[in-house]
């Protein structure tokens, strides 16, 4: 079984969080916040921008501002390739 998050991190993706502020469609003077989070590839963030394009095309709430942060949960010092297998016998 593959863990999608682990595979994404090995491929260079980082846990990306976007705070999206948008105008409410029913009350244009009010802002509302939506938090989007997924594994994405910085600095281009293709998944985030695909989501934002969908938002602008399909949803009524006009975007006000977006704050993006990302963090690599796996760091090079924490992951090492293993060349062998250790068998433990009982």
Residues 21-76 have pLDDT tens digits of: 999 999 999 999 999 999 999 889 999 999 999 999 999 999 999 999 988 766 55
The range of the structural domain enclosing residue 26 comes to 4-78
With respect to residue 58, please indicate whether it lies within any of the assigned structural domains. Answer: yes
Residue with tokens 């991190």: 9
With respect to residue 90, please indicate whether it lies within any of the assigned structural domains. Answer: no
Domain count, the chain: 1
**Global pTM?**
0.74
Contact status, residue 73 vs residue 9, Cβ threshold 8 Å: yes
With respect to residue 85, please indicate whether it lies within any of the assigned structural domains. Answer: no
Alpha-carbon separation of residue 13 from 19, 74, 77, 88 (angstroms):
18, 10, 16, 34
With respect to residue 89, please indicate whether it lies within any of the assigned structural domains. Answer: no
With respect to residue 87, please indicate whether it lies within any of the assigned structural domains. Answer: no
- Looking at the DSSP assignment, which residues form a beta bridge with residue 16? 38, 70
């Amino acid at each position: 079984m593959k863990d999608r998050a682990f595979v994404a991190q090995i491929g260079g993706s980082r846990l990306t969080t976007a705070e999206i502020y948008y105008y409410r469609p029913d009350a244009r003077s009010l802002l509302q916040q939506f938090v989007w989070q997924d594994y994405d590839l910085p600095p281009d963030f293709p998944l985030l921008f695909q989501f934002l394009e969908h938002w602008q095309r399909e949803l009524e709430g006009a975007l006000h501002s977006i704050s993006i942060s990302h963090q690599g949960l796996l760091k090079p010092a924490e992951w090492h390739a293993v060349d062998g297998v250790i068998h433990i016998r009982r």
